[in-house]
Amino acid sequence: MNLSIVIPLLNEEESLRELHDWIVQVMRSNRFSYEILFIDDGSTDGSWKVIASLCSENPCVKGIRFLRNFGKSQALHAGFHMAQGDAVITMDADLQDNPEEIPELYRMVSEGHFDLVSGWKKKRYDSILFKNMPSKLFNWAARRTSGVKLHDFNCGLKAYRKEVIKNIEVSGEMHRYIPVLAKSAGYMNIGEKVVLHQARKYGKTKFGMERFINGFLDLITIWFVSKFGRRPMHLFGALGVMMFMIGFGFSLYLGIDKLFIDPTGRLITDRPQFFIALTAMIIGTQLFLAGFLGEIMIRSRKNEPRYTIEKTLND
C-alpha cells in the first residue's frame, strides 16, 4: 500500500464527506493504493455516523473512535499505530488542508529521500492578531530551541516514511513537535513544502489562545526530554553535587573559623553562612535524589497507551 492518510477529528461532521470525496478523487487520478484513517477523538456531533457510513461505502476507509476526547496527539498516536502504508500523510479534517498536495508530498518522502516533510502554510487564512502573529513568534522560539529549521511546526499536513511514525511516541500535546521527536529519534532528513491553505469552511477552531501557552510549555519539556530524558542523572546529579559542594564549602569555613580562628566569636547559628550552607546542602541532596529517581523510573517504564479505543472499523 502506498499511502495511509491519517485524519484526527473532533466534531467535524459537515466536512468529512466532502474531504473523503476529494481525497478519493486525488487518489484515483494518481493511481495510488491507499487507506484513509479517520480517528474520531470523542466527537459529540454526528461525525462518527458519517465515518461509519463512509466505512461501509468505501473499504479503503477505516475508523477509530475514542471513548472521550483525548486530544489531537493521542488521535495521531492511534492512527500511526494502525497505519500500513509506505508513506503516512496526516491532515486536518476541517478542509483547511488541501488534498491536492498529497501526491507531491508522497513523492518527496518516497523518492526524494526525506524522512519527513512538513507543510508550510506560507499564506494563511486565519485571524492575523490571534493566530498569525503569535504563531510566528512561536515558530521562531521552536526553531531556536529545537534546532529544527521549520517555518510552520503546527501545520496539520505532513508526510512521513512509515518507519518514522512507527518509531516515535507522540505523547501529551506533542503533535506540534513531531519533527523534533523525529529528529531526536535520529531521522535527520526533514523537508518542508509550501502548501495551500484555506479558511475554515464549517465549525470553528478547537484550540483557543491556550495553545500558545501549552505550546511553549511543551517546547520546554521536549527540549528537556530530548536532552536529558534518557540520562536525568547527568543534569540533576551534576547540579546536586554542585549545590552540595557550595554548602559543604561554607560549613567547612564555619567549622575552621569556629575551632581555630575565632572560638569566642558569634554563635554559628547567628551567621548568614550557616543558613547558606544548610539550604545549599539540602537542595543539593534533593536534586541528586531527583536524578536518582529519574534513572530508576527510566529503567522500570512501560509504554502503556494513553487512550481508550471504543471501536475499530474495517481492520
Residues in the site for ligand UDP, rule: CB under 6 A? 8-10, 12, 41, 69, 71-72, 75, 92-94, 96, 156, 205-207
Closest CA relative to residue 197, chosen from 265, 111, 122, 142? 122
Q: Please, what is the minimum distance in Å from the beta carbon of residue 230 to ligand UDP?
A: 29
Q: Residue 87 corresponds to which amino acid?
A: A
| Backbone phi, psi, residue 97, to 5° | -95, 140
- Cα(129)–Cα(127) distance, rounded to whole angstroms? 6
- For residues 308 and 67, is the Cβ–Cβ distance under 8 A? yes
Judged by beta carbon, residue 118 or residue 184, the one nearer Mg ion is 118
Site membership for Mg ion, residue 115 (CB under 5 A): no
Q: Residue 43 corresponds to which amino acid?
A: S
CA distances to 31, 263, 272 from 86, rounded to whole Å, are 15, 78, 66
- Cα(288)–Cα(290) distance, rounded to whole angstroms? 5
Judged by beta carbon, residue 96 or residue 118, the one nearer Mg ion is 96
Judged by beta carbon, residue 137 or residue 296, the one nearer ligand UDP is 137
Instruction: Give the per-residue contact string, 63-102, with Mg ion (x = CB under 5 A; - = no).
Output: -----------------------------x-x-x------
Q: Please, what is the minimum distance in Å from the beta carbon of residue 45 to ligand UDP?
A: 11
- Contact partner at residue 19 from ligand UDP, Mg ion, none, CB < 5 to 8 Å by partner kind: none
What burial class does residue 135 get, using C-beta atoms within 10 Å of its C-beta: 0-12 exposed, 13-18 middle, 19+ buried?
Answer: buried
Q: Please, what is the minimum distance in Å from the beta carbon of residue 211 to ligand UDP?
A: 7
- Contact partner at residue 152 from Mg ion, ligand UDP, none, CB < 5 to 8 Å by partner kind: none
Q: Please, what is the minimum distance in Å from the beta carbon of residue 71 to Mg ion?
A: 15
Judged by beta carbon, residue 19 or residue 281, the one nearer ligand UDP is 19
Judged by beta carbon, residue 84 or residue 132, the one nearer Mg ion is 132
Q: Please, what is the minimum distance in Å from the beta carbon of residue 178 to ligand UDP?
A: 13
CA distances to 64, 152, 228, 291 from 52, rounded to whole Å, are 10, 33, 44, 49
Contacts to Mg ion by CB under 5 A: 92, 94, 96
